[in-house]
Amino acid sequence: PYVITEPCIGVKDKSCVAVCPVDCIKEADDQLYIDPSECIDCGLCEPECPVDAIFMEDEVPEQWKKFIQINADYAKK
């Protein structure tokens, strides 16, 4: 799945939400998260984010890898 990382915090542009065909991007207080069990890997959200917060799970930069778990944990709430 795709993952939303640190640059989203406090920005929450939501251009990603508008293009997601399965509506799996959820809003929390601090940032938005992708539900990994619903994401179909279409990649449409990635280029829409103005702060480049979205990455394929395999391509998340080292310093933001913890966001893979954070997205998954939020989806379970």
Q: Which residues bind ligand F3S (CB under 6 A)?
A: 4, 8, 11-16, 32, 48-49, 51, 53-54
> What are residue 21's phi and psi, to 5 degrees?
-75, -20
18 binds ligand SF4 (CB under 6 A): no
Q: How far is the CB of 56 from ligand SF4 (least distance, A)?
A: 8
20 binds ligand SF4 (CB under 6 A): yes
Q: Which of 37, 43, 47, 59 binds ligand SF4 (CB under 6 A)?
A: 43
β-strands 25-27, 54-56: how paired?
unpaired
Beta strands in the chain (DSSP E): 2-4, 25-27, 32-34, 54-56
